[in-house]
Amino acid sequence: MNKLMPLLLVAALLSACVTRPIDYYYGGYEKAYYHAKKDGTPESIAKYQKALEDIIQTSGKKGLRVPPGIYLEYGYLLAKQGKADAGQYFDLEAKTYPESAKFVALVKTQIKQP
């Protein structure tokens, strides 16, 4: 029994350190982003925008947090299209990830969003 005690102690300590990883849903983000940047066609940008919308909606349905930067990217696309609701996505990014608030504020000033 004395020989098993150190092993049990190590096993207990290691199991206490296990944490649940943060799950994110990315859907078809990588492929859509790649083609939007590579091709730059209206169709590829529309697919990229659709991929961002899918991430936001599916994350909500699955009870997951939207991955970092997705709200900001979606808001940026909307702002480039001149849509007024872009600001709400910038605010969602800063609210979801407070550490990004300064960067979000910088992006807002660069594209003249309130």
User: Mean pLDDT across the chain, nearest whole number?
Assistant: 88
Across 28-32, 82-86, 96-100, least confident range: 82-86
Q: Quick one: tokens of 82? A: 């001149």
109, 111, 105, 45: CA torsion to nearest 10: -170
Cα–Cα distance, 101 to 76 (Å, whole number): 15
Average pLDDT, integer, range 66-81: 96
Cα–Cα distance, 65 to 46 (Å, whole number): 23
Checking if the pLDDT of 114 tops 60, the result is no
Checking if the pLDDT of 10 tops 80, the result is no
